[in-house]
């Protein structure tokens, strides 16, 4: 995100939005819609960016979504980080 | 066939969407043959009813009270329509987002107060840190942008939704229309 | 022989067309009344391919190309409005609406805004992405015009109009990524910069980011079509 030059929109705003969505998921306030949104956003950043930076920036997210999707879902549904990396102990907004 | 139950709700908005809704004028009589208005700022019911078929929601979610309301509305409504730009984008209420609620309260109740400057803390609901559109809290079925959506837009969209006719919203209205 | 115009034949959206060598896909499409949405492109200015709205699909290639910059080649097959392109265009518009503070209802460009019009045309009824709501400034130090960064989409039309047409290059982009911002001179107030007050940047701005102070409400149509004529007249001299 900090490497983006800012010329084209998908990379400039897209990587920043990816970061926002990932942060939401990691701190336990993400939803399954966010996951779907993240996936769609990654595909736009990858395919529509002007240069190689934007075109490859979503790769880590896309490959973790491919091989570790269950960990994403674990964060969203059970508010738990299987790898013990994310701090999910903070009080989480409970859906009514 | 029994009439469908229609509710209209006013969250953080200017009520302009409701005014525009009323601007349907004589077409409201047509509409009244298809629906019963069970809850609205313009009728006397105080509690949101249990089962509503269509809920029209004006305004953004700006306070803890708005958030509670929108979750209740979603739970009790079959079809939820976001009515107007505030409900869809945050619009004018969201203009405070870059500054935060404290700055706004200070401006309104301390800086410009001519007597007893104090920030209200009882009775009035607490403001959320940021004003957000309703679809960031609950699932929204139909989005009707516009500030406000015109009476014609309301008429065409509601008729289509009630009769099941095809509805092309971007052809009718846009953000800020 | 060398003066002869080399003709390429190609297919755009199923229509067989011919074009001159060196023409861009966008030029050929426009000559043949095939619509491709654009935002940073403006006739009379150089193209930068930054907004990615005009991306098209080329048969045989997985890569999407910007129609404003990609030149035609013999027997290329172009699709301008596939489902994949529509999806990307909508996402790009959502990114723009969520990036800064675009409040259409109170904007001076309401009803004359290219971003707003594109949103409607591409069927956008809401933005799924979270709004970023950054705190941005307004520079009203110029006696005639104002720049409101909340409404800027960084298309750089103003930068190009000022540098290429007016020849002053007051505007440029500072910073990088999401923190990029349009600045006058070396980040000075617009009013005390080397600006000539010609107003070309205001006319080419697709949104309400640059506007004339004498206009109130949403009474601010813009007329960027003077550029090709200006260029034509200059070439004739």
Q: Residue C43: give its domain's CATH number.
A: 3.10.20.740
C138-141, long-range: CB within 8 Å, 24+ apart, which pairs?
C139/C184, C139/C189, C139/C190, C139/C191, C140/C213, C141/C189, C141/C190, C141/C191, C141/C192
CB B172 within 8 A of CB B151: no
Which residues in chain C touch residue B20, judged by CB atoms under 8 angstroms apart?
A: none
* CA A57/CA A13 separation, integer angstroms: 12
Number of domains in chain A: 1
Q: How far is B49 from chain A (nearest CA, A)?
A: 17
- What is the domain count for chain C? 2
A92 lies in some domain: no
A93 band by pLDDT with thresholds 50, 70 and 90: low
Question: What is the arithmetic mean of pLDDT over C187-192?
Answer: 96
Distance of CA C162 to the CA centre of its chain: 14
Residue C124: list chain B partners with CB under 8 A. 170
The chains found to touch C (3+ Cβ pairs under 8 angstroms) are: A, B
**The CATH number of the domain where A24 resides is what?**
1.20.1440.230
Least confident of B65-79, B106-120, C55-69: B106-120
Check B147 against C104: CB less than 8 A apart.
Answer: yes
Q: What is the CATH number of domain B4-174?
A: 3.40.50.700
Mean pLDDT of chain B, nearest integer: 95
Neighbors of chain B by Cβ distance (3+ pairs < 8 Å): A, C
Q: Is a pLDDT exceeding 80 seen at residue C7? A: yes
User: C133 vs chain B: nearest CA distance in angstroms?
Assistant: 5
Measured on CA atoms in the order A34, A35, A36, A38, is the torsion positive or negative?
A: positive
| ipTM > 0.90 (yes/no) | yes
- Interchain contact C88–A (C-beta under 8 A): yes
Residues C188 and C222 in one domain: yes
Over chain C, what is the mean pLDDT?
95
Please check whether residue A25 lies inside any domain of the structure.
yes
The helix or strand, by DSSP H or E, that contains position A52, with its residue range, turns out to be: helix A52-56
pLDDT for C218 beyond 90:
no
Q: Residue B170 and residue C121: Cβ atoms within 8 Å?
A: yes
Encode pLDDT of C75-118 as tens digits.
999 999 999 999 999 999 999 999 999 999 999 999 999 999 99
Percent with pLDDT over 70 in chain B: 99
Give me the pLDDT at residue B34, please: 94
Q: What is the CA radius of gyration of chain C?
A: 19
Interface touch C119/B175, C-beta < 8 Å: yes
Pair C94, C202 in one domain = yes
Same domain, C100 and C41: no
HSE, side-chain direction, 13 A CA sphere, residue B60: 21
Whether residue B169 contacts residue B144, with contact meaning beta carbons closer than 8 Å, is answered with yes
Residues of C in contact with B174 (CB under 8 A): 104, 116-117, 119-120
- Cβ of C52 within 8 Å of Cβ of A50? The answer is yes
Q: How far is C223 from chain B (nearest CA, A)?
A: 21
Residue from C47, C92, C96 whose CB has the most chain A CBs within 10 Å, to mutate: C92
pLDDT of residue C216: 78
- pLDDT confidence bin for A96, thresholds 50/70/90: very low
- End residue of a domain, out of C81, C109, C131: C81
Instruction: Please name the member of C122, C127, C133 whose beta carbon is closest to the beta carbon of B97.
Output: C133
Tell which of C81, C106, C127 closes a domain: C81
Smallest Cα distance from B71 to chain A, Å: 7
pLDDT tens for each residue of A6-41: 999 999 999 999 999 999 999 999 999 999 999 999
- Do residues B143 and C126 touch, judged by C-beta distance below 8 A? yes
Q: Does the pLDDT value for residue A90 go beyond 60?
A: no
Range of the domain at C53: 7-81
Structural domain of A56: 9-77
Average pLDDT over residues C116-133: 97
Q: Would A51 be classed as within a structural domain?
A: yes
Would you state the pLDDT for residue A87?
A: 85
Cβ of A44 within 8 Å of Cβ of C88? The answer is yes
Any domain includes A2: no
Residue A96 inside a domain? The answer is no
Q: Could you say which of B97, B135, B175 has the minimum Cβ distance to residue C116? A: B175
Share of chain C above pLDDT 70, in %: 99
Residues C24-39 have a mean pLDDT of 97
Whether C200 and C155 map to the same domain: the answer is: yes
**Torsion angle defined by CA atoms of residues B19, B161, A35 and B137, in that order, rounded to the nearest 10 degrees:** 30
Q: Contacts of residue B169 in chain C, CB cutoff 8 Å? A: 125
Residues 6+ apart with CB under 8 A from B114: none
Whether residue A94 lies within 8 A of chain B, CB to CB, comes out as no
C1 inside domain: no
- The whole-angstrom distance between residue A5's C-alpha and the CA centroid of its chain comes to 20
Q: CB distance from C52 to chain A under 8 Å?
A: yes
Q: Are residues C201 and C151 in the same domain?
A: yes
**Phi/psi of residue A41, each to 5°?**
-65, -45
Q: Is the pLDDT of residue B13 over 50?
A: yes
C112: chain B residues, CB-CB within 8 Å = none
A96 close to B (CB below 8 A): yes
- Domain-ending residue, one of C63, C81, C99: C81
DSSP three-state, residue B43: coil
Partners for A (CB, 8 Å, 3+ pairs)? Answer: B, C
Measured between beta carbons, the chain C residues lying within 8 angstroms of B17 are: none
Contact A45, A14 (CB under 8 A): yes
Question: Where exactly are the structural domains of chain B?
Answer: 4-174
User: What's the confidence (pLDDT) of residue C2?
Assistant: 57
pLDDT, position B1: 61
Residue of B nearest to C118 (CA): B174
Q: Is the pLDDT of residue B83 over 50?
A: yes
- Spatial contact of B109 and B118, defined as CB atoms under 8 Å apart: yes
Closest-CA residue in chain C for A43?
C88
């Amino acid at each position: 995100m900090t490497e983006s030059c800012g010329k084209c929109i998908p990379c400039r705003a897209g990587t920043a939005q990816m970061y926002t969505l990932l942060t939401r998921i990691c701190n336990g306030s993400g939803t399954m819609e966010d996951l779907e949104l993240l996936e769609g956003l990654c595909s736009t950043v990858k395919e529509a960016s002007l240069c190689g930076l934007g075109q490859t920036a979503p790769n880590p997210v896309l490959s973790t979504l491919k091989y570790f999707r269950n960990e994403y879902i674990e964060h969203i549904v059970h508010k738990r980080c299987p790898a013990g990396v994310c701090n999910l102990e903070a009080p989480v907004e409970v859906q009514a | 066939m029994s009439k469908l139950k229609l509710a209209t709700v006013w969250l953080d908005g200017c009520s302009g969407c409701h005014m525009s809704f009323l601007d349907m004028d004589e077409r409201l009589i047509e509409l009244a043959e298809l629906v019963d208005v069970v809850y609205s700022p313009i009728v006397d019911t105080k509690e949101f009813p249990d089962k509503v078929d269509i809920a029209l929601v004006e305004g953004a979610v700006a306070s803890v009270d708005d958030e509670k309301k929108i979750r209740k509305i979603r739970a009790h409504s079959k079809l939820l329509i976001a009515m107007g730009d505030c409900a869809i984008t945050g619009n004018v209420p969201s203009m405070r987002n870059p500054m935060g609620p404290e700055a706004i309260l200070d401006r309104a109740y301390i800086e410009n107060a001519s007597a007893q400057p104090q920030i209200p803390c009882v009775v009035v609901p607490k403001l959320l840190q940021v004003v957000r559109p309703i679809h960031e809290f609950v699932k929204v079925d139909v989005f009707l942008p516009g500030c406000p959506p015109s009476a014609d837009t309301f008429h065409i969209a509601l008729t289509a939704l009630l009769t099941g006719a095809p509805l092309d919203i971007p052809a009718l209205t846009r953000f800020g229309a | 022989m060398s003066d002869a115009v080399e003709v390429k034949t190609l297919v755009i959206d199923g229509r067989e067309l011919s074009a001159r060598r060196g023409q861009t896909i966008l030029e050929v499409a426009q000559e043949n009344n095939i619509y491709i949405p654009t935002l940073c492109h403006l006739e009379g200015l150089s193209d930068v391919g930054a907004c990615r709205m005009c991306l098209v699909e080329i048969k045989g290639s997985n890569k999407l190309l910007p129609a404003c910059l990609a030149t035609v080649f013999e027997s290329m097959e172009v699709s301008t409005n596939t489902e994949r392109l529509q999806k990307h265009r909508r996402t790009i518009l959502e990114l723009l609406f969520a990036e800064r503070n675009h409040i259409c209802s109170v904007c001076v460009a309401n009803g004359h805004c290219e971003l707003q019009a594109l949103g409607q045309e591409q069927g956008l009824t809401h933005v799924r992405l979270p709004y970023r709501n950054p705190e941005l400034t307004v520079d009203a130090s110029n006696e005639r015009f104002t720049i409101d960064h909340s409404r800027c989409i960084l298309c750089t039309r103003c930068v190009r109009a000022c540098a290429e047409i007016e020849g002053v290059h007051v505007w440029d982009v500072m910073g990088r990524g999401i923190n990029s911002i349009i600045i006058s001179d070396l980040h000075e107030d617009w009013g005390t910069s080397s600006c000539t007050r010609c107003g070309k940047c205001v006319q080419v701005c697709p949104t309400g980011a640059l506007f004339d102070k004498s206009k109130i409400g949403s009474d601010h149509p813009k007329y960027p079509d003077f550029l090709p004529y200006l260029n034509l007249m200059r070439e004739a001299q």
